[in-house]
Amino acid sequence: MQWVHQERGLALEKKTNFSVFPITASKGEREEGMRLKQMPPQGPLSFPSWVAFEYPDFQGQQFILEKGDYPRWSAWSGSGGHHSDQLLSFRPVLCTNHGDSHVTLFEADNFQGSKFELTDDYPSLPSMGWASKDVGSIKVSSGAWVAYQYPGYRGYQYVLERDRRSGEFRTYSEFGTQAHTGQLQSIRRVQH
Question: Is the entire prediction scored with pTM above 0.75?
Answer: no
pLDDT digits (tens, 9 = 90+) for 12-70: 333 333 333 344 444 443 444 555 444 444 433 456 688 888 888 888 888 888 777 66
Question: What is the widest separation between alpha-carbon atoms in the chain?
Answer: 53
Tell whether the torsion through CA atoms of 151, 35, 144 and 3 is positive or negative.
Answer: negative
- Examine domains 3-92 and 102-189 and report if their fold is the same: yes
Residue partners of 167: CB distance under 8 A and separation at least 6: 139, 140, 141, 142, 160, 161
Q: What would the mean pLDDT of 80-108 be, rounded to a whole number?
A: 78
Fold for the domain defined by 102-189:
Gamma-B Crystallin; domain 1 (2.60.20)
Residue partners of 119: CB distance under 8 A and separation at least 6: 100, 101, 102
- Per-residue pLDDT for 73 more than 90? no
Please classify residue 83 by burial: count the beta carbons closer than 10 Å to its beta carbon, then call 0-12 exposed, 13-18 middle and 19+ buried: exposed
Question: Would you list the domain boundaries of the chain?
Answer: 3-92, 102-189
Enter the CATH code of domain 3-92.
Answer: 2.60.20
pLDDT digits (tens, 9 = 90+) for 109-127: 999 999 999 999 999 999 9
- Return the CA Rg of the chain: 16
Q: What percent of the chain has pLDDT over 70?
A: 62
Beta bridge partners of 117: 104
What DSSP element (H or E) covers 178? none
* More confident position, 64 or 73: 64
Pairing of strands 186-189, 102-108: unpaired
- Per-residue pLDDT for 11 more than 50? no
